[in-house]
Structure 1
């Protein structure tokens, strides 16, 4: 199991980059990543898969909220996606190789692999393989995570020397209406942490006092959390969490 790099605990992590639409920096944009680097923050980003198997730096499964275009990301090629402008900025959707070339080791990258199964199941693999290929020769600090433990397990096989974690929460029904109750109950206990040879968790900051988080912390597992939006939330979270993923204020 790789040692979790201290650099991921030393500086706050900018959620989807240090984004600010009023300043022309959409989430998961080059401008947001450059701003995070300039401010001395770490960077969290999300990956979705294009139709032709390229990891795209984009959070949602559908294009509309962030671009105004319609349709799933997976139904368009990387070239088509790279030509779609992000709202509130002057750039288009980047690929993971684009972002790696931009960052070039200047900030730690916390990369979330979005669930491609649709129900946190085992129907994954293509995005994980494409991510590993893109990262094969990248020299900067990287950690990988996913809500789907199958993805974390797959990355353990593909990139055993790269730190990895499970993105977690208590899986309330109102927040996860499409997941079956049995799946939500299973995942909320973080039962796959050891099976995935995980190095950390990134947990919902509103539920940091749950017994499963306390048990992992007692084992010395680094606890990250998401998504902090005020200094007051950060102060409260840091009573338990070792670091925060934040947005919307100067951390």
Structure 2
């Protein structure tokens, strides 16, 4: 039986504008969605907001860098119309808003979007919000950036952390050990059966992204039933796995 866990990528981003409350609500509405992946950055005035790109241009009607914009200014932007008229008026949500919706409903893979010293206060701000809601055991904090993963462990070693990996070479298993991570987020075409099985045997959670076709999901499920499937289309996951 195929029972690979479904992770909604940026919410139900295949149908709703990614990383918005509409996408979060649509993911929550599907009872088989157990996890959701979101992206977090900081506004100029230090508010953690849920948005993927460093620039506002693709997913809002604003322009420029997230890090250069105050939260109140960002709140006035439209983050939904690009996906369709039905989503006009959707906003860039704060992390606090997403945590409030997800608490007790979905576990969260929170990607900290940063490189080097771009957001020196990001780890602390995210940790504070998650702890304030008592959600530490409901989240994993992930990043491509090794520095921010080390910083999380320095600030609060109780947090589960995960490395995001997208390379054809290197030693992801060794990197996980070095950083004290218990979670690997990896592009599905980079994940070999040998790596997946060895990490899972060691107790590492493995999440593959981003699979939007049934044949891709089925192929991955044949490697190991514990690999988490991150998808923009949780509805396709449901059609495939709930019939299996």
TM-score band (shorter)?
A: 0.7 to 0.9
Shift >4 Å, 4+ stretches: 210-215
Q: For the residues of structure 1 that align with 2:120 and 2:179, how far apart are their CA atoms?
A: 15
Change (3 A) 1:144 1:115: same
Match of 1:182 in 2: none
Match of 1:92 in 2: 91
Partner residue of 1:203 out of 186, 195, 220: 186
Deviates more, 1:154-163 or 1:122-131: 122-131
Deviates more, 1:47-56 or 1:86-95: 86-95
The answer as to 2:104 corresponding to 1:105 is yes
Change (3 A) 1:197 1:28: same
Match of 1:13 in 2: 7
Partner residue of 1:189 out of 155, 167, 171: 171
Q: For the residues of structure 2 that align with 1:148 and 1:207, how far apart are their CA atoms?
A: 18
Match of 1:126 in 2: 121
Partner residue of 1:145 out of 142, 145, 168: 142
Q: For the residues of structure 2 that align with 1:29 and 1:124, how far apart are their CA atoms?
A: 22
Partner residue of 1:67 out of 39, 60, 68: 60
Change (3 A) 1:31 1:210: same
Partner residue of 1:38 out of 24, 29, 43: 29
Q: For the residues of structure 1 that align with 2:27 and 2:61, how far apart are their CA atoms?
A: 25
Q: For the residues of structure 1 that align with 2:38 and 2:208, how far apart are their CA atoms?
A: 14
TM normalised by structure 2 equals 0.82
Change (3 A) 1:52 1:210: farther
The structure with the largest helix share of the pair is 2
Please list every run of 5 or more consecutive structure 1 residues that lacks an aligned counterpart in the other structure: 1-8, 172-184
Which protein, 1 or 2, shows the higher relative CO under an 8 Å CA cutoff with sep ≥ 6?
Answer: 2
User: Aligned-residue CA RMSD in angstroms?
Assistant: 2.2
Please list every run of 5 or more consecutive structure 2 residues that lacks an aligned counterpart in the other structure: 82-86, 238-244
TM normalised by structure 1 equals 0.80
Counterpart contact for 2:12–2:234, Cα < 8 Å: no
Q: For the residues of structure 2 that align with 1:10 and 1:126, how far apart are their CA atoms?
A: 35
Deviates more, 1:106-115 or 1:241-250: 241-250
Counterpart contact for 2:6–2:234, Cα < 8 Å: no
Q: For the residues of structure 2 that align with 1:10 and 1:137, how far apart are their CA atoms?
A: 31
Match of 2:164 in 1: 167
Q: For the residues of structure 2 that align with 1:211 and 1:148, how far apart are their CA atoms?
A: 25
Q: Displacement of 1:219 after TM fit? A: 2.8
Change (3 A) 1:64 1:29: same
